[in-house]
Amino acid sequence: MIRVVVQTAAFDLAGEMERLSQISENVGGMSVFMGQVRAQGDGLESLTLEHYPGMTEKVLTTLAEEAGTRFSLLGCTVIHRVGTMRVGEPIVFVGTASGHRAEALQATSFLIDRLKTGAPFWKCERFTDGRKRWVEARDTDDEAAALWD
């Protein structure tokens, strides 16, 4: 079971974990990652994510399907928020379920590394002094994603 959602609302971490744990009695391992807006010591106030509706969901679904096949997953959930989020608010949830922990852990790492570089999101940071800055891609993210090739 693959579930991909792009939404403005915050997600229920406990509820999403419960949903994944109940997809099959064969689930023996689950892995969850939740990313949130972090303060960077430079007055960051919020992060606004824009996306290309339709294309974003398709890319995330393709990544989830690849993870499902590659790591023999029983279930996978990817939820990514768009819109404006303040420091401390959740941005992304990736949860995987498999028969064993190793596959779930690897699949979650794979998905986070790949969606950071492959999903069509654009991020704009807003600072307390009124500045705005579009976030550029990082070489370290590209390097992490390339390790899965």
Question: What's 69's domain CATH number?
Answer: 3.90.1170.40
What is the Cβ-side half-sphere exposure of residue 132, based on CA atoms within 13 angstroms?
A: 7
- Answer yes or no: are the C-beta atoms of 127 and 43 closer than 8 Å: yes
Name the pTM for this structure: 0.94
Which residues lie across from 36 on neighbouring strands? 90
Instruction: Give yes or no for a contact between 134 and 122, defined as CB atoms under 8 angstroms apart.
Output: yes
- Which candidate, 115, 122, 121, places its Cα nearest to that of 145? 115
**What confidence tier does 42 reach under pLDDT thresholds 50, 70, 90?**
confident
Range of the domain at 119: 2-147
Check residue 144 and give its pLDDT. Answer: 86
Residue type at 37? Answer: V
Backbone dihedral region for residue 54 (phi beyond 0: left; psi -120 to 50: alpha; all else: beta): left
pLDDT at residue number 41: 79
pLDDT of residue 142: 86
140 compared with 102, residue with greater pLDDT: 102
Mean pLDDT computed over 117-136: 94
Give the count of domains, the chain: 1
Q: Is the pLDDT of residue 71 over 90?
A: yes
